[in-house]
Chain A
Amino acid sequence: MPLAVQFTNVSRQFGEVKAVDRVSIEIEDGEFFSMLGPSGSGKTTCLRLIAGFEQPSAGSIRIHGEEAAGLPPYQRDVNTVFQDYALFPHMNVRDNVAYGLKVKGVGKTERYARADEALAMVALEGYGQRKPVQLSGGQRQRVALARALVNRPRVLLLDEPLGALDLKLREQMQGELKKLQRQLGITFIFVTHDQTEALSMSDRVAVFNKGRIEQVDTPRNLYMKPATIFVAEFVGTSNVVRGDLARQLSGNAQPFSIRPEHIRFAVGPLASDEMEVTGLLHDIQYQGSSTRYELALDSGQLLSISQANTQWLDDAGLHLPGQRMAVRWAKEAMVALQDAPASDASGPLT
């Protein structure tokens, strides 16, 4: 089966700036694939390269096996949901949704029937006659989705589509998008800077940093086995231990990561597969379902510790700042990290 989208050493340069730098990705057909990264990391440029709004400076982009570099957007079998929705203000909702069919020459009866069908799919039946300005942000987002899906693309691109929605609506839309993707079976490529969103929705996630891909993996692997320092720190919270302390604890100088929730306060005898360190309890943040402690080790390293508040406790018997505490973790929870993505080691081209 051909891949839905394949990047081979794709670069996109804007003057001196390398927005995308020798990126290779393979996105499988029917996959929910997220591109995660901070702003300016190249994730949106990658999406625009797939849509055809940008052309690569170097490298090859294949969409369903066909070379796409050089093809304008209107000759690609992909559709985009824009961050600002980009609904046509002079058309009503139905005409907006039917637009893609209209420009391809589909007759009026059929295109309106299919537009209504697409509107029903996003639970907006009966809104066809309204103008986009008469809709709420969430409704506009659904119209944008229907407008893209009505063309039955094989790949749907979503450029931070939930960014402008409030938290409750965003969570609801996350669920609906995931459901829609399973139901339609088409490839979704989802760009976001929100790691929770990426982890909860995706089959696989690519983490971008400075125009390069740091890691492509399933959400679980990304969180449990981050490959690089950047991934460990960007996806969730992590204690990254380096230098002398790393050598002292793990036996070699390679930095490692340990998640705050994998550290617990020392109780009873130390097991053979556990590590123990002591430090001064420095800060305590009560966060409802969990409590976050900050422990200052003698080396100066700060360790963040998260404890689930699973037991019914009152104020008595709690840890207090200034106390000297011992903490432990299982050795297997220490994940060795690379400084930079592994592909960099195989000889940079510059």
Chain B
Amino acid sequence: MNQVASGPNHSAMRRFCDVLYTRPNLYLALLLIPPLLWFGAVYFGSLLSLIWQGFYTFDDFTMAVTPELTLANFAALFQPANFDVIKRTLVMAIAVSIASGVIAFPIAYYMARYTTGNIKAFFYIAVMLPMWASYIVKAYAWTLLLAKGGVAQWFVQHLGLEPLLQFILGIPGVGGSTLSTSYLGRFLVFVYIWLPFMILPIQASLERLPPSLLQASADLGARPRQTFMQVILPLSIPGIAAGSIFTFSLTLGDFIVPQLIGPPGYFIGSMVYAQQGAIGNMPMAAAFTLVPIVLIAIYLAIVKRLGAFDAL
């Protein structure tokens, strides 16, 4: 690697570097244009074109799409059948986000405040390890774990909690015939799959919390519970908000878990998949695509309103 730099090649390179150094704006433009092109044209452009197609007309009889603009697709979202899909997905996304936050916080807190060196590295790997495996494999694995006669049921039987499980599975809106065909099972799998996305941002926000703040709180007379409510929790809210944006939006858009686990019935993601794949109703699929975008925009507005980003 220790070549003697010489020749016109080298001096041209050097001149180029000098030009970049003296014109920082040009340098910045060169760095930013490729990602902006990618993001702007490829990503944002195709998204706009997709939403634009939501205004096209789909003929139920001929199964043909014509570029006649109509609001019928968006109006159709509010038909009971479609609106149920949206409600079902939204409730699941909220439940998954809350449960992930509750489960993730103690893990993140322990990682941030009580681990160092190798133990911290172990926790990082342990949290991220599941993400190394394909998500579809994990979802399939869970269908077996939760199935009738599966591992989960075996544990429940041996703990003598069979009646409790039957009771929970009997609750409408939560249960189903078995765990793997219940809303509860679907919820468990969602929480499992998205948990790392909640742990890591919370852990990062707690890591930034100086220990002297907690000591100051105790010094001023706050009991541990008060310190938690007044200092630790408010200062970790940006992390919780970041994590919940992941869990919320990932659940809203998912179409695999709802197909594999839980009772029949579409989620927004699987609805989009069905509309554009099996049915070929691209305009309706496009209209459904807009739903998570709008819901996430509303969610971000609420989170911002609550002051979650003030401490950033």
Which A residues fall within an 8 A CB radius of B? 51-53, 72-74, 78-80, 82-84, 86-90, 99-100, 102-104, 147-148, 151
Contacts and interface: CB of A to CB of B under 8 A. Distances in A.
- 4 closest Cβ pairs, A-B complex: A100-B220, A86-B216, A86-B212, A103-B222
B47 interface: no
Contact of A90 (B215, B217, B218, B311): B311
A72 B210 CA distance: 19
B223 interface: yes
Contacts of B221: 74, 100, 103-104, 151
Contacts of B310: 90
Contacts of A88: 213, 216-217, 230-231, 235
Given A79-B220, A103-B221, A86 B230 contact: no
B215 A99 contact: no
Contact of B210 (A51, A80, A84): A84
B220 A151 contact: yes
Interface of B: 210, 212-213, 215-223, 226, 230-231, 234-235, 310-311
A103 B230 contact: yes
B222 A90 contact: no
A300 B188 CA distance: 82
Given A99-B230, A103-B222, 12 more contacts: A72-B218, A82-B212, A87-B216, A90-B234, A90-B311, A100-B220, A103-B217, A103-B221, A103-B226, A147-B220, A148-B220, A151-B221
A102 B217 CA distance: 11
Nearest to A104: B221
A89 B311 contact: yes
A74 B223 contact: yes
B280 to A, nearest CB: 52
Given A74-B222, A103-B221, A104-B221, A80 B216 contact: yes
A53 B217 CA distance: 11
Given A89-B311, A90-B311, A80 B235 contact: no
27 contacts: A51-B215, A51-B219, A53-B219, A72-B218, A74-B218, A74-B219, A74-B220, A79-B219, A79-B220, A80-B215, A80-B219, A82-B212, A83-B212, A84-B210, A84-B212, A86-B210, A86-B213, A86-B215, A88-B217, A88-B230, A89-B311, A99-B222, A103-B217, A103-B222, A103-B226, A147-B220, A151-B221
A53 B215 contact: yes
**Majority DSSP secondary structure for residues of B touching A:** helix
Contacts of A51: 215, 219
Nearest to B311: A90
A164 to B, nearest CB: 13
A73 B235 contact: no
A247 B136 CA distance: 88
Contacts of B226: 103
Q: Which residue among A52, A80, A90, A151 has the maximum number of chain B CB atoms within 10 Å of its CB?
A: A90
B218 A73 contact: yes
B305 to A, nearest CB: 16
Contacts of B210: 84, 86
B213 to A, nearest CB: 5
Contacts of B215: 51, 53, 73, 80, 82, 86
A90 B310 CA distance: 8
A282 B280 CA distance: 98
Contacts of A73: 215, 218-219
Contacts of A86: 210, 212-213, 215-216
A21 to B, nearest CB: 24
A82 B216 contact: yes
Given A74-B223, A82-B212, A84-B212, A99 B235 contact: no
Nearest to B238: A90
A87 B213 CA distance: 7
B268 to A, nearest CB: 35
B219 A103 contact: no
Nearest to A51: B219
B213 A103 contact: no
B304 to A, nearest CB: 15
Contacts of A83: 212
A89 B230 CA distance: 12
Nearest to B307: A90
B191 to A, nearest CB: 29
Contacts of A90: 234-235, 310-311
A99 B219 contact: no
B218 A99 contact: no
A53 B221 CA distance: 13
Contacts of B234: 90
Contacts of A53: 215, 218-219
Contacts of A103: 217, 220-223, 226, 230
Contacts of B235: 88-90
A129 B215 CA distance: 24
A72 B223 CA distance: 9
Contacts of A99: 217, 220, 222, 230
A74 B231 CA distance: 15
Contacts of B216: 80, 82, 86-88, 147
Contacts of B223: 74, 103
Contacts of A89: 235, 311
A101 B217 CA distance: 11
A151 B216 CA distance: 13
A82 B222 CA distance: 16
B35 to A, nearest CB: 31
A101 to B, nearest CB: 9
Nearest to A79: B219
A205 to B, nearest CB: 24
Nearest to A83: B212
Contacts of B230: 88, 99, 102-103
Nearest to B209: A89
A86 B311 CA distance: 15
